[in-house]
Amino acid sequence: MYTVFAGGVGASRFLQGLVRVADPAAVTVISNTGDDVEMFGLHVSPDVDIVIYALAGVVNPDTGWGLTGDTFAVAEALNRYGYERWFNLGDRDLATAIHRTRLLREGVPLHEVTGGIARAWGLASSILPMCNERVETRISGPGGELAFQDYMVRLRTEVDVEEIRFAGAREARPSPGVVEAIGESAAVIIAPSNPFVSIGPILAVPGIRDALARTTATRVAISPVIAGQVVKGPAAKMMHSLGHEVSAVGVASIYRGLIDVMVIDEQDRELAPRIEALGMRCHVTDTMMTSPERKAALAASVLQAIGGG
C-alpha cells in the first residue's frame, strides 16, 4: 500500500500518474483540509475535490481544479444579487458542495462524506481528509491576518507572508484510517505540494507527524521546486518570505527527519550532494508532469527509488 500526503494541483497530477503504475486500490490519499472554506453557506473542500476530480478524469485540465466543461449559471445569478465572484465555483462543483454540506449538517463525519463522494465518482483509491475537525490555514502579512482563500484567490498571493498558523489544529485528531495508513504502508509519499500550506496543515494535526516519524515505511518527498521556481502556486514566494532557501535543498531541509528519500528534478542534479548531507538519499529524475505519460513516468521512478517498482 502507498500513502500519499496531498494538497493542490501538483499532488493531483502526481496521483494521476501513480494510479497508472500502481493498483489504485492500493493507494490511500491523506488530503489537506486546511484551505476548506464556507462559500454561500456551503462547505467547500478545494484540495479534496481537486484530488477526486483528477483521479476520476474529470478535472479541468486548463486550471487543474474544477470540472471540465462546467458552467457557471449559479455564480452569474448570485453576482446579480451582489455576491462577489472572486471564488468562482461551477454549477457541478456547487453540487458537490451542496451534497457535502447537507451530510455534514446531518452529523455525518467528514471522512465518511469524503469517502462517499470518492465512491460516487468511481474511485478505487481511499481518499481521507487529514481530520474531521475544522482546521483553518491563516496567513499573516503586513496588513494583518487573512483566511487562506482570501490570500490565495481574492488577493492572488500578492501578500508578503510573515507567518502561517493552523487555527484549530491543536484540538483536531487524525481522521479514522490516517495513522493506520501511515503505519501499514510500504511507502509514504509527500507529493510535490506546497510544504507550508498543503503539507503543513496535515503535519500540524496531532499524531500525524509522530506517525510519520515512527513508521517503518520508506518515506519519500518530491520537491515542488525546480531550478528555483515552482510550476504553480506560491510556494517559492513563501519560502523566500519565511527565510528558506528557494530550492530543492530548502524543501529537503523542511522535511528533514521525516523523510528517507528526496526526489528532485534533473535540472537540480548538482544539489544532490547537499541534500544527501542532510541525512537522506537523493533521487534525480524528470519531475515535470506536462503529459499523462510524464506523470506516470515520475510515479514509476518514485516507486523504483523506494523499491516498490
Q: Is residue 147 part of a domain?
A: no
3-state DSSP: the chain helix, strand, coil percent, rounded to 5?
A: 40, 20, 40
Q: Is residue 49 part of a domain?
A: yes
The pLDDT value recorded for residue 309 is: 43
135-152 pLDDT, tens digit per residue, is 999 999 999 999 999 999
pTM higher than 0.85, yes or no? yes
Asked whether residue 308 carries a pLDDT value surpassing 80, the answer given is no
The pLDDT value recorded for residue 165 is: 98
- How confident is the model over 62-78, as a mean pLDDT? 95
Asked whether residue 306 carries a pLDDT value surpassing 60, the answer given is yes
Cell of 306: 523506494
CATH no. for residue 235? Answer: 3.40.50.10680
Q: Which amino acid is at 13?
A: R
Asked whether residue 66 carries a pLDDT value surpassing 90, the answer given is yes
Cα separation, 282 vs 305, whole angstroms? 9
Split into its structural domains, the chain has a count of 1
Q: Is residue 140 part of a domain?
A: no
164-222 pLDDT, tens digit per residue, is 999 999 999 999 999 999 999 999 999 999 999 999 999 999 999 999 999 999 999 99
Residue 37 belongs to domain spanning: 2-134+171-305
Q: Is residue 156 part of a domain?
A: no
Phi and psi based region of residue 243 (left: phi greater than 0; alpha: psi -120 to 50; beta: remaining): left
Pick the closest to residue 58 from 10, 123, 152, 5 (CA basis).
Answer: 123
Q: Is residue 62 part of a domain?
A: yes
74-110 pLDDT, tens digit per residue, is 999 999 999 988 888 999 999 999 999 999 999 999 9
Q: Is residue 141 part of a domain?
A: no
Pick the closest to residue 71 from 94, 53, 87 (CA basis).
Answer: 94
Cα separation, 302 vs 264, whole angstroms? 10
Q: How many CA atoms lie within 13 A of 159 on its CB side?
A: 24
pLDDT band at 49 (very low <50, low <70, confident <90, very high): very high
Q: Is residue 277 part of a domain?
A: yes
Q: Is residue 250 part of a domain?
A: yes
Pick the closest to residue 304 from 223, 183, 220 (CA basis).
Answer: 220
Cα separation, 168 vs 135, whole angstroms? 5
Q: How many CA atoms lie within 13 A of 216 on its CB side?
A: 1
Asked whether residue 64 carries a pLDDT value surpassing 50, the answer given is yes
